[in-house]
Amino acid sequence: MSAPPASPRVPRHIAVIMDGNGRWAERRRRPRVIGHRAGARAVNLCIDYCLQHGIEALTLFAFSSENWGRPEDEVGALMKLFLNALEREVDELHRRGVRLRFIGERQRFAPDILAQMRDAEQRTVGNRSLHLTIAASYGGRQDIAQAARALAEDVAAGRLRPDEIDEAAVARHMALADLPTPDLFIRTGGDHRISNFLLWQLAYTELWFTETLWPELDAATLDRAIEDFAGRERRFGLTSAQVAPAPPTLQDRTDA
């Protein structure tokens, strides 16, 4: 059975920074990698939630371009977890109609991980229940820079004039260009910043922060985020009067 369509008070696209895995482990005097393993459960919970509530797209920040600078043993453990998750989860995601893809500088990954990423994308490309995007080796500035390079190449090749470069032209070259921009951004772990994540795409996204560490995420936390989103007025630079629904006309009342 397919999920019900999202209502106007439910976001179509949620973007998440999954923060707090390391601190979760440290508070338990365990290695940081244990926290990353625990965080995998929260990923599955978040996917389940989106499928149940008719949310169209979920983008998760798994590994930033800056994270390569972390201690070598932690990066190695993260890569192993990433590969294991790909091997373990893709069949179930495919069965549930989830399309999986990756954004970021994937050439920095080892060949075995790259092969698994390509296989997962190819196998799930026709799925439509949920568009799940994993941002891995990703940075928002990097995303904008690659869009600028693509536009420069188009100009150099004569396919585009400089005066034709506008916001729409840039947006076409950004990651996630074929998806609605995120309606709701969630960051766990207590920090109140977006940390170079989807800088272009989050221009008018509603931001929601929680002290909850990522491995402790539950449906009640996501419910609070959605409830908060539903109560916000999204004006996109307009006034409240401009975005308010028009009052019913006499004809509307008669028809009712």
| Residue 21 a catalytic site member | no
* Helix 72-95 and helix 111-124, axial crossing angle in degrees, nearest 10: 20
Torsion of CA 203, 206, 210, 214, to 10 degrees: -70
Write down the catalytic residue from 21, 44, 48, 67: 67
| Residue 154 a catalytic site member | no
> CA distances (Å), 137 to each of 44, 209, 211, in order?
21, 23, 25
> Residue 33: what are its φ and ψ, rounded to 5°?
-60, -30
Tokens standing for 224? 């609070």
C-alpha of 207 from chain center: 13
**Active site members:** 19, 67
